[in-house]
Amino acid sequence: MQLFTPLYDKCMAWARHRHAVWYLSGLSFAESSFFPVPPDVMLAPMSMAQPKRAWRYAAITTLASVLGGLLGYFIGFFAFDQIQPWLQESHYWDKYLHARNWFEEWGFWAILVAGFSPIPYKVFTIAAGTLSMNLPLFVAGSILGRGGRFFLVAGLMALGGPGMEKKLRLYVERLGWLVILLAVVAFIYFRG
């Protein structure tokens, strides 16, 4: 049963769509404040499909992500009381508390590391707002952290280019099922 190859082909088609940059921008903005899907899922195939535009895509993703991060910051700063009940009932509450601890311990470095962290970036942006983190430091840390991540992803994908696209398509089924298997194993391990 082929599940991942058709999805891969669809992603590559979307990456070449004439409005792909707008979709990438919207996804990057939304992910930094409320949406669960990371922009890497569009940035990577777009950079692989059009390696000459990879740096441009990384810059757009970074800018949109930082702007979305500012929305998350302002949600935390101005509207935390309204979202707190939802946050407590969601699976993000423990991550939010973890992010707050990071900020209390490391401040600026927490937002910088958040760009690469497996904890969703939106959790850090909201936590930064609730703690009234210095806004220029928040923006600087976001640019460095998110930019570092997105330029790394774009650069690696551009380096592989069309050759990597073809090779990845050959192995995408195996890789997809391997990721699912690892996710199930991790879920069982951390649940117990």
pLDDT per position in the chain (192 positions), as tens? 677 778 777 777 777 888 989 989 998 999 888 877 788 888 988 898 889 999 999 999 999 999 999 999 999 999 999 988 988 888 778 888 888 888 888 878 888 888 877 678 888 898 899 989 999 999 999 999 999 999 998 998 888 877 877 777 777 788 778 878 877 887 787 676
- The tokens describing 158, both together, are 């551009």
- The tokens describing 118, both together, are 């497996």
Instruction: Give the pLDDT score at 102.
Output: 83
Instruction: Give the pLDDT score at 118.
Output: 66
Instruction: Give the pLDDT score at 111.
Output: 85
The DSSP annotation for 62-106 comes to HHHHHHHHHHHHHHHHHHHHHHHHHHHHSTTHHHHHHHHHHHHHH
C-alpha dihedral, 156 to 158 to 164 to 165, nearest 10°: 120
**Distance separating alpha carbons of residues 91 and 37, to the nearest angstrom:** 15
- The tokens describing 10, both together, are 């669809």
Instruction: Give the pLDDT score at 76.
Output: 92
Instruction: Give the pLDDT score at 16.
Output: 80
How many domains does the chain divide into? 1
Instruction: Give the pLDDT score at 79.
Output: 92
Helices (H), ranges, 16-53: 20-31, 40-49
Are 92 and 36 within 8 A, CB to CB? no
**Distance separating alpha carbons of residues 105 and 139, to the nearest angstrom:** 19
Instruction: Give the pLDDT score at 35.
Output: 79
**Distance separating alpha carbons of residues 53 and 108, to the nearest angstrom:** 31
Instruction: Give the pLDDT score at 21.
Output: 92
Q: Which structural domain, as residue segments, surrounds residue 116?
A: 4-191
**Distance separating alpha carbons of residues 69 and 19, to the nearest angstrom:** 23
The count of residues in the chain is: 192
